[in-house]
């Protein structure tokens, strides 16, 4: 049972690493991405404009999640 839990934790950790690695800063967002409305605009741009899964403001940049 403990071995199964360890294996599941390793798989989950690997999945998180893969998700974090699939982020792209978009050049289509204009200006600093800092406010709540910017965050929503970034998400809309990434999903509808570029076709990625989602987007959010990170370090004042619009980052799309693929």
Dump pLDDT digits (tens) for 2-41.
454 443 335 444 444 455 679 999 999 999 999 999 999 9
The pTM of the whole model exceeds 0.75:
no
Q: Return the higher-pLDDT residue of 50 and 56.
A: 56
Residue 48: Cβ-neighbour burial (10 angstroms; 0-12, 13-18, 19+):
exposed
Which class would CATH give 22-66? alpha beta
pLDDT at res. 20: 61
pLDDT at res. 3: 55
Query: What would you report as the CA-atom Rg of the chain, rounded to the nearest whole angstrom?
Result: 16
Sequence ranges of the domains in the chain: 22-66
Enter the tokens of residue 49. 């404009």
């Amino acid at each position: 049972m403990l071995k199964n839990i360890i294996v599941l934790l390793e798989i989950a950790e690997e999945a998180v690493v893969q998700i974090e690695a699939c982020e792209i800063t978009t050049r289509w967002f204009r200006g600093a991405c800092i406010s709540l409305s910017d965050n929503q605009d970034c998400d809309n741009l990434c999903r509808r404009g570029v076709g990625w899964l989602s987007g959010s403001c990170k370090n004042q940049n619009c980052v799309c999640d693929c």
